[in-house]
Amino acid sequence: MKKFGLVMTVALTAIAMCACGKEASNQGSEPEVETTENTGNTTETSEASTLAVPEVKDGVTRPGEDCVEVYFEWNPVDGAEGYEVSSQNKYYEEENFREPAETVETTDTSFVTGAQDYFDFQIKVRAFKGSGADRVYSDWSNEAVGFSYTDDELNSDTAVATYNSYDEIIDVISKGLKDGFSEGYQDYLDISACFFMNNPEYEILGYMKKDLDGDGTEELILGENAADGSDPGEGWDSIIYDIFAMKDGKVVHVLDGWERNRFYLCTDGTIANEGSSGAAYSSWAYYNIKDGEKTIIETVFTDADENMQGHWYHSDKEPYEDESNEITEDEAMKIIQKYTYQKLEFTPFN
């Protein structure tokens, strides 16, 4: 399943592009970020004889707090006052890296990015010194690549837990939150990654059973209530992370999410989804749940052109599948405001 969960870090400051944990966005001021399309041909002054070209090593995969991190580093360049990093990513099944590239500046000689799913990353680096009209750059480095997965992970058929009842799911999560989940257990359990990073200071994880489609059979809803008592949609309250249903006598996983890909139950029974994969890429999708499956009703989403100008779109398909119907922001807000989120009271796991 494709999860657009990415996080990028420069030096010791985190830039939360799309992480599962909320704390990243509260870690102080962010470095200045300039997003551009990088072709390698620039009009800035390049003094290769003064500033050497950084030699960038391919990325190293390592565990992160809320995702798999990919760590890049390069040699320090004599005389350099900082470095410009051009970064691109793509889901492993995509053929080409996404355009435009994103560019950040750092004084460190390392760059950390990452994802909660199988993503490929590509960066290049150039050194600089001076500022304004006096700034000079080295040539761009070689392109280094990194991956948020291993070949073994990609080629393996990971076993997934089979549940015979909702109570089994509730029991597994309750024990895991109390005693800790075994390492590598997440994929097997087939539940949201957010249950593996519980922070009771701001969230109360829980469950409820509710008949969502009116067929007389309850679905199991896993989610969170905000510890601060905030309202749905305004804070981190009444978020749905997983929905399970009974179909043909078996438990089926209808949907799963995380904090940057979260679901809500609307007052009319619609399931709303709010997603983001970056500042210019947000979506609001609305679904019906029926017979253990979700079907799209409509979606509103934003996308950026090659100049990073944002545009709004409306479709009856999944986000980003159809950009033929561009709308205004006011029109988008009217669609979004049709749906009112319900206040859900989850039964805490612990």
Q: Determine the CATH number of domain 6-155.
A: 2.60.40.10
Task: Give the separation between CA 81 and CA 58, rounded to whole angstroms.
Answer: 23
Two tokens, residue 102: 């994103």
Task: Give the separation between CA 62 and CA 48, rounded to whole angstroms.
Answer: 33
Which segments of the chain belong to CATH 2.60.40.10? 6-155
Enumerate residue ranges in the chain where pLDDT < 70.
Answer: 1-49, 64-66, 152-160, 183-186, 233, 235
The closest of 286, 282, 244, 245 to 264, measured between CA atoms, is 286
CA 283 to chain CA mean position, Å = 12
| pLDDT for the residue 160 | 67
| pLDDT for the residue 37 | 43
The closest of 110, 94, 100, 112 to 7, measured between CA atoms, is 112
Q: Which amino acid is at 27?
A: Q
